[in-house]
Amino acid sequence: MRKAEEGGNLDSTNTIANEVSCRKACYISGWGYSAGVFADWSLGEENCCFDLPELSRTSSLRSGSGSLFLSSWARLSPWAQGLAVVLENECPEVLVAWSMGAIVALELLLSEMEFLRNTGISRLVLLAPTLSFVARPGWDAGQNPSVLRAMLMSYRRKPQSTLRAFALSCSAGRTDTVLAGDYLLGDTVADALADQLDYLSAIDLRSGVFQAALESSPQLLLIHGDKDTIIPGKASSELGLLISQSQFVELEGESHLLPLSCRARQVAENWCKGQGILTSTVVFGGEVDCA
């Protein structure tokens, strides 16, 4: 893979067919999407995928000794609690999380660094992450809070049409990628999705001790599309500046739908194999062979 700070092609000639990056990888989807959005990802010999409603249900299955003694358990969201249980039970080496899933991963990372290390995770891949989904004083890398309030009102009235409109926004208006609608969650989890929108309105993970808390974090890869209209790329780049163990990659021409991006997948694969990414901030453009 060739790095390019101002565009260029992504060279896939060093990728070995069918070579996996680790023993086990886990994937967490974003708001409104099922775990099937990661169907083409196979970073590990074993791969397990979870959507956000599954995480909240999993939080009630807290049976492992480690999660029983998390000091911050009561302060964690149901999704971060569920993620803790999943990681303890599955013991993946790589965690890939997208959008709200990435926010939940950051919530757990910030609250329970030692627990996260003890699960055996060595690499985290966050697709379109942010510390705060909505804009706040001192944080302009987010949505206007009124946009999220309007979305919540719309979702409560017409959940499926709101989800389809969200899918179109995720694809930055590119109708050829709205096939992502095949992975949208159904009405059976409507209440759970409304709760998640409330979470996105409230969550703010910024902290004065943020950088010090993450000095010994697992290796972290941040991937963002420069056409993302849901979470601005600035959110990832500013996050990358705060975490010494991170690398930030911006993909030219990519939207919010990074789980469906073969370029995002290949960047993650090569990084997990120790290939390709040599600087803290790089931009990839052009075409890549995703066969």
Domain boundaries, the chain: 22-132+206-284, 145-200
pLDDT of res. 151:
95
CA 85 to chain CA centroid, nearest Å? 18
pLDDT of res. 206:
85
pLDDT digits (tens, 9 = 90+) for 199-240: 999 999 987 445 445 555 678 999 999 999 999 999 999 888
Look up the pTM and report it.
Answer: 0.87
pLDDT of res. 110:
83
Tell me the H-state helices in the chain.
52-58, 65-68, 78-90, 100-111, 113-118, 145-157, 159-170, 190-202, 210-213, 233-242, 262-272
pLDDT of res. 204:
93
Q: Calculate Rg over the CA atoms of the chain.
A: 18
**Domain 22-132+206-284, architecture per CATH:** 3-Layer(aba) Sandwich (3.40)
Q: Give yes or no for a contact between 217 and 109, defined as CB atoms under 8 angstroms apart.
A: yes
Can you tell me whether residue 152 is helix, strand or coil? Answer: helix
pLDDT digits (tens, 9 = 90+) for 232-264: 999 999 888 877 778 999 999 999 999 999 999
Q: Distance between CA 128 and CA 207 in Å, rounded? A: 19
What residues in the chain have per-residue pLDDT under 50? 1-17, 65, 208-209, 211-212, 278-281, 286-287, 291
pLDDT of res. 281:
46
Q: Distance between CA 235 and CA 110 in Å, rounded? A: 16
pLDDT of res. 9:
40
pLDDT of res. 285:
52
H or E element at residue 223 = strand 219-225
